[in-house]
Structure 1
Amino acid sequence: MNSSTISESLPHSYRQIVRCCRRDRHRLAVAASDPEKQLFGEDFGARDPTAGELESGFASKVLGNANTEHQIKPPEAMSNIMGLKTRKCVPCEQGGEPLPSKEVDLLCNQVPGWKVIKDSEGRDRIRTEWKVKSFVHGLECFKRIAEVAEEQNHHPDLHLENWNTVRLELWTHSVGGLTENDFIMAAKINDIDISDLKRKTKPKMWA
């Protein structure tokens, strides 16, 4: 009698346990053969839609906005490998060259929530913004950021708009564009705990 026959002869609850063990054994085998899945997890990232979802036209029926930006925070293992938040900003020489677009794009992928923008003169900057609970919470947010900025001697432009919108922009003035310092600082800002200051999004009530 093979293992499949034995499992089918067991009560339903036991058969479920057997299936779970087989599934976990398969996942371990996949992780051992694929270092990336072993490091980041088998389910890291967004899944592809199923055939049934595509046929149903689910994308046209979901609630919310089609252009909503979703932030996926990388696993701690990935963050440690990339190492931006563990590095220190270094002084830049006046007149140095800003990073080329390819490097900017690569580094921007390592700081979730930040995006590249152009200033009025066409120079690159990176920007992020949050909604906070109140004007006072916005000032407290600035205070926490200022402590890290002073430590690194690299300071973002800070804006508090409409009493509860905190907007940050980073760029290196001495080179007129972006350097690694900006992304190091962005990673350190991302690491600051401001969860108690952020405004919680209320669920929408649909008729």
Structure 2
Amino acid sequence: MGARAWARAPIAGRWTASRARARVERGARARVGAGESISKNQEYMGGLGGDIGARDATVGEIESGFTETCLGHADTDHMNRAPKAMADMIKLAVRQIGDDGYDAKLTFEQQEVFRKQVWDWKIRPGKGNFECLRREFSVKDGDAEALVEKINAKCEAEGWTPAYLGATSGSNVVCELGSDAVKGITTNDFILAAKIDETEDILSMVVKAAPKARNWF
């Protein structure tokens, strides 16, 4: 019943319509509680507006094949942004590289905790045949060697040596962080990656790729 029709309807008619809507809504909740899905029409009839948040897909949605062209990822972890004062105390970039356990090889679970702070670095097999943090930097043509020098200077200042650092072309640089001593990734590698990501002299040279066009049909 529309808003105008509702306003013109007698009080008794409004009460009857409200009871009918409440009855349908109770029935819908009962079916959901019993493990049954409800259709789009049932949602509207129940006064739920057609979208009640998390729910099972309706028959029509499943038949439309809407999931066949969706882009997604199995990892749907969300990281809430911490207040700046807290982030300044706990983020990797403010830690100091050291040998008090920071040079031990990390497990997969430990890597996953730190990885969320250095999204541009990928965990890949390195040139030394062990797992590394790897990032490819794109710069203006001819600036690759200059960027290598800046990254190398940052690594020396922090006292941690990259597993590999070099220019693959005039506009591309590859940096791999990992420890040959433990044949893997350490906390120090994640700390150095975070520090490199926040070094303005390095960031100012990086050319960001344009977003890729995607067709959602």
Identify which of 94, 100, 105 aligns with 2:112.
Answer: 105
Q: Secondary structure at the match of 1:197?
A: coil
For 2:145 and 2:210, locate their aligned partners in 1 and report how far apart those are by CA, in whole Å.
23
- Provide the identity percentage: 25
Which residue identity lines up with residue 115 of structure 2 in the other structure?
Answer: C
Q: Secondary structure at the match of 1:126?
A: strand
CA distance 1:150–1:133, shift in 2 (3 Å): same
What are the equivalent positions in structure 2 for 1:54-65 lying under 5 Å apart? 60=69
Deviation at 1:166, TM superposition (A): 1.2
Question: Unpaired runs of 5+ in structure 1?
Answer: 1-50
Q: Secondary structure at the match of 2:184?
A: coil
Residues matched between the structures, number = 144
User: Is residue 2:156 matched to residue 1:150?
Assistant: yes
CA distance 1:164–1:142, shift in 2 (3 Å): same
In the other structure, the counterpart of 1:197 is 205
For 1:84 and 1:203, locate their aligned partners in 2 and report how far apart those are by CA, in whole Å.
27
CA distance 1:134–1:172, shift in 2 (3 Å): same
User: Is the 2:128–2:180 contact (alpha carbons within 8 Å) kept by the matching residues of 1?
Assistant: no
In the other structure, the counterpart of 1:125 is 132
For 2:180 and 2:212, locate their aligned partners in 1 and report how far apart those are by CA, in whole Å.
42
In the other structure, the counterpart of 2:184 is 177
TM-score (norm 1): 0.55
User: Is residue 2:75 matched to residue 1:88?
Assistant: no
User: Is the 2:144–2:169 contact (alpha carbons within 8 Å) kept by the matching residues of 1?
Assistant: no
For 2:209 and 2:166, locate their aligned partners in 1 and report how far apart those are by CA, in whole Å.
21
Which residue identity lines up with residue 92 of structure 2 in the other structure?
Answer: L
CA distance 1:197–1:116, shift in 2 (3 Å): same
Which residue identity lines up with residue 196 of structure 1 in the other structure?
Answer: S
Which residue identity lines up with residue 152 of structure 2 in the other structure?
Answer: A
Deviation at 1:180, TM superposition (A): 0.6
Deviation at 1:82, TM superposition (A): 2.9
In the other structure, the counterpart of 1:30 is none
Q: Deviation digits for residues 131-174 of structure 1, max 9, x if unmatched?
A: 11022x11221222122211111122212113211111000122
Greater C-alpha radius of gyration: 2
For 2:211 and 2:157, locate their aligned partners in 1 and report how far apart those are by CA, in whole Å.
38
Question: Unpaired runs of 5+ in structure 2?
Answer: 1-56, 74-78
What are the equivalent positions in structure 2 for 1:30-41 lying under 5 Å apart? none
Q: Secondary structure at the match of 1:155?
A: coil
In the other structure, the counterpart of 1:159 is 166
**RMSD over aligned Cα atoms:** 3.7
Q: Secondary structure at the match of 2:160?
A: coil
